[in-house]
Structure 1
Amino acid sequence: MYRKIIVAIALGRLDRGENILRKAASLLDAGGEIVALNVVEDVPTYVAIELPANMLEDAMKDGRDKLEALVAATGVTARIDIRNGPPAKAIIAAAESHRADLIILASHVPDFSNYFIGATADRVVRHAKCSVLVERQKI
């Protein structure tokens, strides 16, 4: 079905990451590729001044380590990509740079400010140039 799939995984919800990695594997064409993506959000400058200088590098290394462990645990073959910045923009940029034809991401139960899907998922759906599959949380 799909040749290149970006699977955006939040480290705070690795259980959902496992589910969407397996879903990606079921949708992947023979010879296709899955890219497991984690985005480390930027810290505002006024906060970053008070934090250790290597915090971003440590967070990106931690993200890589956790995604590698998750990928190994699921048995799904995937390339790891760690980026930083606003999550929706980074997910869309990753999809474009990898020439993905599908993005899969999980969405939390929204509040009134983003009623239909989560804020990041909403932005990705609206601006991605490829198909987007949003895995909803079971209530």
Structure 2
Amino acid sequence: MYKKIIVPIELGALHSGERAFRKASTLLDTGGEIILLNVVEDVPTYVAIDLPAELLQNAIDDAQEKLGMLIRTSGIPAMIEIGHGRPAHSILATAETHDADLIIVASHIPDFSNYFIGATADRVVRHAKCSVLVDRQR
């Protein structure tokens, strides 16, 4: 069905990401590729001054480790990519860079500020140039 699928995974909601990852494996063409993406958000300069210098590298290392463990425990082959900046922007940029034909994004049950789907999922759905599957998490 799909040749290249991007699966953004938030480390704080790894179980939701695992569910989306497993779903991606069922939608993948033979010879296709899944890219697990974690986005490390930039820290504002006025905050970064008070944080340890290695904080960003630690976040990247943690993401690599947890996504690698997810691949090993699931047995599903995938590539790992770490993005930087705003999550929606990084997800969209990764999809374009890899010429993805599907993004599977997990969305939690929203609050009043983002009633229909989560804020990141909303931005991805609105601006993606490929198909987007929103995996609603309960």
User: Normalising by the residue count of structure 1, what TM-score does the alignment of the two structures yield?
Assistant: 0.97
Aligned to 1:129: 129
Aligned to 1:75: 75
- The answer (yes or no) to whether the contact 1:60–1:83 under 8 Å persists in 2 is no
Report deviation, 1:87: 0.2
SS at match of 1:117: coil
1:114 counterpart letter in structure 2? N
Question: Is residue 103 from structure 1 mapped to residue 103 from structure 2 by the alignment?
Answer: yes
Matches within 5 A, 1:38-57: 38-57=38-57
SS at match of 2:116: coil
SS at match of 1:90: helix
Unaligned segments of structure 1, at least 5 residues: none
- CA distance in 1: counterparts of 2:31 and 2:61, whole angstroms: 28
Report deviation, 1:134: 0.7
Identical residues among aligned pairs (%): 66
- CA distance in 1: counterparts of 2:105 and 2:71, whole angstroms: 15
Q: CA RMSD in A?
A: 0.7
Please identify runs of 4+ aligned residues in structure 1 that moved more than 2 A: none
Unaligned segments of structure 2, at least 5 residues: none
Question: Is residue 11 from structure 1 mapped to residue 14 from structure 2 by the alignment?
Answer: no
Query: What CA deviation, in whole Å up to 9, does each residue of 1:24-79 have, x standing for no partner?
Result: 00000000000000001111111100011121111011101110001111111000
Aligned to 2:25: 25
User: Normalising by the residue count of structure 2, what TM-score does the alignment of the two structures yield?
Assistant: 0.98
- The answer (yes or no) to whether the contact 1:7–1:37 under 8 Å persists in 2 is yes
SS at match of 2:42: coil
Number of aligned residue pairs: give it.
138
SS at match of 1:57: helix
Aligned to 1:63: 63
